Amino acid sequence: MGQNAEKARTDTPPEAQCLRDDVHPGHQWTSLTHRWFCPGRAILRSQRLAGYRDPLIDPPPPPAIDAMHLYGQRAWSQRTFGPGPRTLGVLDHIRKELKEIEAAPGDVEEWVDVIILAFDGAWRAGWEPQQIIDAIKAKQAKNEAREWPDWRTMSDDQAIEHVRPRCGQCGPGYRLGDEGCRHGKTPATPDVDGGDR
């Protein structure tokens, strides 16, 4: 081994060395597999399996859909379908796509059609691409912070909606939005409200 290779090996931090396939200090011979074993590499591999990523060694993958993607989708949609809100047209198209999903629920392209139409409706309503992405993340965080009923007690054929807080002004039997509760937004069933998932 030349001096440059030896210097590179000693200058490389142990975490990076553990990702190398050659033998370096810290490797141990194991008679079980008749191979060299690196404890550091094993730790990193187990961390990766658990979802851990070291940003210095494992940079995050580029985003699949980012603001630039949505700018491109918006430009194409404006050229193809024209400018303006087109709200009723977008909703009509979403309804048609939902029927196609019902007919072929395993077809990912049908689900993606609805996603693309939702992006289209959002920017046509005046939202910028980064605002749309930020809203998706914020809504996911909001949903994760909510209380949800046990899915095992719910029908597969009905929406699972978040549990609404009880109304402190109408009495212990009311949840916000219940019929008879004057403090919620809309009447709904006693334990859940609609449309948030």
Q: What's the pLDDT tens digit per position in 7-54? A: 444 444 444 444 445 555 555 545 554 444 555 555 555 555 566 666
Q: Please give the model's pTM, rounded to 2 decimal places.
A: 0.58
**Whether residue 96 sits in one domain with residue 139:** yes
- 81, 45: one domain: no
> Within this chain, do residues 124 and 167 fall inside the same structural domain, yes or no?
no
Residue at 79: amino acid letter? R
In this structure, the answer to whether residues 162 and 189 fall within a common structural domain is yes
As for how many domains the chain has, the answer is 3
Considering the domain boundaries, does residue 137 fall inside one? yes
Question: Residue type at 18?
Answer: C
Q: 136 and 73 share a domain?
A: yes
Domain assignment present for residue 44? The answer is: yes
Shared domain check, 74 and 9: no
Do residue 138 and residue 73 come from a single domain? yes
pLDDT tens-digit readout, 47-85:
555 666 666 666 666 667 889 999 999 999 999 999 999
Amino acid at 17: Q
Q: What is the CA radius of gyration of the chain?
A: 27
Q: Structural domain of residue 26, as residue ranges?
A: 3-49
Alpha-carbon distances, residue 70 vs 85, 123, 178 (angstroms): 16, 9, 39
116 shares a domain with 91 = yes
169 band by pLDDT with thresholds 50, 70 and 90: confident
